[in-house]
Structure 1
Amino acid sequence: MSIVVRLDVMLALRKMRSKDLAAKIDITEANLSLLKSGKVKGIRFSTLEAICEALDCKPGDILDYEPEAAANGN
């Protein structure tokens, strides 16, 4: 996938645990884990906004784009 989720990096920078973020933005830890691993097909803007507010960041701090060739090592 060309979109890379760097939520784990931002959590580490903010010294926040996934469990605490999930509670703060009112989603399950399982859904947050799926989001962190990039195994979701989409994210609601309201969820993205809540994450950014909780972590004091911008969407570009947790989402990145890498062209397919780079993602596949070509």
Structure 2
Amino acid sequence: MYGYRGMEFKVLFNNGPGNRGFLDVLDKSGGIIYDWKFGYPNMTPAQLNMTPQLLKYQRNFGLPTQIIKP
């Protein structure tokens, strides 16, 4: 239960102008990116996964994204 589980928080990536950002959570052992969304009341997680921001994350890391809407 305790210890390193392969998750990294607030992961910065900088691959040049227009291709940089912060990941909320990168789960290396599970192979997925978690992204918290606090706005966008009219958008489903599936729609949010197709936004330019999330597509950029998927392209840079080669991993799927999971939207968390608290």
In the superposition, the TM-score normalised over structure 1's length comes to 0.26
The answer to which structure, 1 or 2, has the higher relative contact order (CA under 8 A, 6+ apart) is 1
Scaled by the length of structure 2, the TM-score of the pair is 0.27
Bigger proportion of residues as strand: 2
